[in-house]
């Protein structure tokens, strides 16, 4: 187990390192930030001064070593546009993204499990068929398009909910949150629903499949034969057994929900780190792009490591395989 963990850690480290090289070289090959950042009217002396200040006169490998050294000290450069540390910018935007992603995951459980339960219990009914057809749409519709339609219907036509921004925020633990105020919650509903649609469909289908699989099993029949109420059989005996795969998948989906927040944030002008990266790519703000990509690589490598670890703890078969 320890050997496995060390090997896995070295692998993760290697991935992060390889990604840092790819990201660094990739980002430094496109565009010339000098042309973007320095006004055309600047004279030669001023140009040279700014280039030196940004470290753009060094050869690429020196810039990379400098970058790694700085990164290890928690410094991923200053944003060309905001003139603030890139890491700080991302850290400031991260709570908004996390708030959105976590709300979306919670919504997927809140809607997905009851709908899936119903579709699994009455698979032949018209309602169940509608639910399943809807879930196919949830899988195939592009997120951004659904977001636009949500804005069009609920914000423009009906005028029930606001279309953009976070609304009024309240402070908790030194961070601004939307879910603490009524106005913030109203702003949160549409983006979170948009982001959760894919996960709702996923949870719904998993739950339905689980219910269909579990219902004919002996322990369910036995619980019924014991004379337990149908509600108790379904909500305690059946639900408990299908929760394991559902929770696993939902946990795994948290990562890609954070990734797909890029799209939702852009549609709803939600000021999270996804919107920051899109804006930064459009103005070629290299330090922010590099910092974001490195943060996200680190985040995903960590998520994958934790998931692998949890599997090994939960499922002895994986452990045996890793040894062999």
Residues near another protein, by CB under 8 A: 15, 23, 26-27, 29-31, 136-137, 139-145, 148-149, 151-152, 155-156, 163, 255-256, 259-260, 262-263, 266, 277-278, 281-282, 289, 293, 296, 300, 304
Strand partners, 176: 171
As measured in angstroms, the least distance from the Cβ of 213 to another protein is 15
Map residue 172 onto helix, strand or coil.
strand
How far apart are CB 46 and another protein at their closest, in Å?
Answer: 27
Q: In this structure, are strands 175-177 and 170-172 parallel, antiparallel, or unpaired?
A: antiparallel
Which residue's CB is nearer to another protein, number 144 or number 311?
144
Residue number with CB closer to another protein (59 or 159): 159
Smallest distance, another protein to C-beta of residue 239, A = 28
Q: Calculate the dihedral angle through the C-alpha atoms of 207, 211, 214, 216, rounding to the nearest 10 degrees.
A: -160
Nearest residue (CB) to another protein, 143 versus 248: 143
d(CA 188, CA 177): 10
Say if residues 15 and 23 touch (Cβ distance below 8 Å): no
**What's the helix, strand, coil split of the chain in %, to 5?**
75, 0, 20
- Compute the least distance from the CB of residue 148 to another protein, in Å: 6
Nearer of residues 97 and 238 to another protein, judged by Cβ: 97
In whole angstroms, the minimum distance from the beta carbon of 316 to another protein comes to 21
User: 111 or 260: whose CB is closer to another protein?
Assistant: 260
Q: What is the nearest approach in angstroms of another protein to the Cβ of residue 158?
A: 13
Contacts of residue 79, Cβ cutoff 8 Å, sequence gap at least 6: 85, 86, 89, 280, 285, 287, 288
CB of 138 to another protein, least distance (A): 12
Three-state SS sequence of 200-246: HHHHHHHHHHHHHHHCCCHHHHHHHHCCCCHHHHHHHHHHHHHHHHH
Of 75 and 143, CB closest to another protein: 143
CB of 231 to another protein, least distance (A): 34
Nearest to 163 by CA among 269, 10, 276, 315: 269
Query: Of 250, 255, 219, 257, which is closest to residue 237 (Cα–Cα)?
Result: 219
C-beta of 99 vs 285, nearer to another protein: 285
**Cα-atom radius of gyration of the chain, to the nearest Å?**
25
**172 forms bridges with which residues in the sheet?**
175
Residue 274 CA to residue 294 CA, distance in Å, equals: 14
Q: Nearer to another protein by C-beta: 177 or 205?
A: 205
């Amino acid at each position: 187990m320890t050997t496995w963990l060390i090997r896995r850690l070295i692998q993760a480290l290697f991935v992060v390192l390889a990604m840092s090289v790819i990201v660094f070289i990739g980002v430094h090959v496109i565009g010339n930030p000098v042309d973007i950042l320095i006004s055309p009217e600047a004279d030669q002396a001023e140009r040279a001064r700014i280039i030196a200040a940004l470290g753009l006169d060094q050869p690429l490998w020196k810039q990379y070593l400098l970058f790694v050294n700085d990164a290890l000290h928690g410094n991923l450069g200053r944003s060309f546009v905001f003139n603030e540390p890139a890491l700080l910018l991302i850290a400031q935007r991260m709570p908004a993204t996390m708030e959105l992603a976590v709300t979306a995951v919670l919504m997927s459980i809140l809607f997905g499990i009851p709908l899936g339960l119903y579709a699994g219990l009455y698979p032949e009914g018209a309602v169940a068929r509608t639910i399943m057809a809807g879930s196919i749409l949830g899988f195939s519709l592009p997120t951004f398009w659904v977001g636009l339609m949500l804005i069009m219907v609920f914000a423009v036509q009906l005028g029930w909910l606001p279309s953009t921004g976070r609304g009024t925020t309240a402070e908790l633990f030194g961070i601004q949150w939307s879910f603490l105020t009524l106005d913030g919650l109203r702003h949160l509903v549409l983006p979170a629903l948009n982001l959760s649609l894919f996960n709702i469909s996923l949870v719904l289908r998993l739950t339905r499949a689980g219910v269909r699989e579990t219902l004919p099993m002996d322990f369910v029949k036995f619980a019924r034969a014991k004379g337990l109420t149908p509600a108790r059989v379904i909500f305690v005996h059946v639900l408990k057994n299908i929760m394991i795969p559902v929770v696993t998948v939902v946990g795994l989906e948290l990562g890609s929900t954070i990734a797909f927040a890029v799209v939702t944030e852009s549609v709803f002008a939600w000021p999270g780190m996804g919107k920051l990266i899109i804006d930064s790519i459009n103005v070629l703000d290299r330090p922010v792009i590099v910092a974001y990509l490195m943060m996200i690589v680190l985040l995903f490598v960590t998520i994958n490591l934790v998931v692998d670890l949890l599997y090994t703890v939960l499922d002895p078969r994986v452990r045996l395989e890793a040894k062999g």
